[in-house]
Amino acid sequence: MNKEILLRVENLTKIFTLGSMFSRVKISAVNNVSFNIKESEIFTLAGESGSGKTTVAKIILGFLEPTSGKIIYKGKNIIESQKEDKKSIRKEVQAVFQNPFETFNPLRMVHNYLVETAKNLGANSNYQEVIENALNLVGLTWNDVVNKYPSEFSGGQLQRISIARSLLTNPTLLVADEPVSMVDASLRMSIVNLFAKLKKEIGLSVLYITHDLATAYYVSDRIAIMFRGEIVEMGSVDKVLTDPKHPYTMLLKESIPEPDPKKKWTKDIKILTLEEEEYQMKGCKFISRCPYRMDKCKNPVPDVEVDGRIVKCCLYT
């Protein structure tokens, strides 16, 4: 059965201007990125630090304005939507942040957050039932959380509570930016499994942003690999991670497919300014590390369909 497209990212570009008035530099964090997320789908954006994946998430969540491009949610461009529309979209598209300990004030009992959110959304006398339902979906109960401070929970439990709070708004899409990186290695798979469970039980879609290919392989339906602000390969997770076609994805293949959260990218990549980038490479951004580089790789590289996935590489042109 064909699933409907829930969210479309079209030609998204974000250029940051950094520095003082006298020495400004422009950084291209995201460059012409396009992808879509379907209903009940876990879509992963994977890449090293500085690859632009978090910038994409922030734009989708409305925390950043793009330089150009569109975010189409259920047929409406979020960026150009009116205030009221934006408000209702924000309820349906919820964020799960990296560090659950930063989501909650250490001096405030966590159940207060859930009560406040439920009441703000219109639950009154039945607020406890509404909260209990959301907590049950993440494997917890009201009794597990009531009258406790954040420090009384593990990172994994607190991340579950944070997800339960997001579920109170009946979202269709969770944007989860590195949601397991601050969670104990032994508990990471339980959070990732929770996404799969929510997809199955309530039809939730998840944009999973990670540098951890092992959990991405385990949980995703489709994946896009980002390198220096661009998607270099995108397709079904099986195809992309077990039979990669882009030389960069090939380079990463050795760290997968076992679901071992310890295996991940650890090196940060150097972020080039726009001027350096334009000077060094108008063509493929991977050229300096690519064993297959050719003269034509110095020119703009097209997206090519190869064996059911999209690859940005001259090897296939």
Give whichever of 6 and 225 is closer to ligand SF4, judged by the CB atom: 225
Minimum gap (Å) between residue 224 Cβ and ligand SF4: 16
CA distance 35 to 223: 10
> Using only C-alpha atoms, what is the Rg of the chain?
20
For the record, the structure tokens of 262 come out as 């310890």
Minimum gap (Å) between residue 304 Cβ and ligand SF4: 10
Number of neighbours of residue 129 by Cβ within 10 angstroms: 11
Give whichever of 164 and 301 is closer to ligand SF4, judged by the CB atom: 301
Q: Tokens 């570009």 sit at which residue? A: 13
- Could you tell me the CA-to-CA distances from 162 to 44, 82, 134, 153 in Å, in that order? 20, 28, 10, 12
CA distance 299 to 289: 16
CA distance 299 to 225: 21
Minimum gap (Å) between residue 77 Cβ and ligand SF4: 32
Minimum gap (Å) between residue 283 Cβ and ligand SF4: 7
For the record, the structure tokens of 268 come out as 């940060």
Q: Which of 261, 264, 296 is nearest to 282 (CA)?
A: 296
Minimum gap (Å) between residue 291 Cβ and ligand SF4: 8
Give whichever of 91 and 293 is closer to ligand SF4, judged by the CB atom: 293
Give whichever of 33 and 314 is closer to ligand SF4, judged by the CB atom: 314
Interface residues toward ligand SF4, by CB under 6 A: 247, 284, 286-287, 290, 292-294, 297, 301, 313-315
Give the CA-trace dihedral at 98, 138, 222, 254, to 10 degrees.
60
Within a 13 Å sphere around the CA of 312, how many CA atoms are in the beta-carbon half?
25
Minimum gap (Å) between residue 251 Cβ and ligand SF4: 10
Give whichever of 199 and 246 is closer to ligand SF4, judged by the CB atom: 246
What three-state secondary structure class fits 245?
coil
Q: Tokens 């509570």 sit at which residue? A: 161
Give whichever of 167 and 301 is closer to ligand SF4, judged by the CB atom: 301
Q: How many residues can be counted in the chain?
A: 317
Minimum gap (Å) between residue 246 Cβ and ligand SF4: 6
Give whichever of 96 and 224 is closer to ligand SF4, judged by the CB atom: 224
Minimum gap (Å) between residue 247 Cβ and ligand SF4: 4
Could you give phi then psi for residue 240, rounded to 5 degrees? -70, -40
Buried b (16+ CB within 10 A) or exposed e, 157-171: bbbbbbbbbbbbbeb
Give whichever of 89 and 313 is closer to ligand SF4, judged by the CB atom: 313
Give whichever of 171 and 229 is closer to ligand SF4, judged by the CB atom: 229
Minimum gap (Å) between residue 5 Cβ and ligand SF4: 28
Residues in CB range of 186: below 8 A, 6 or more apart: none
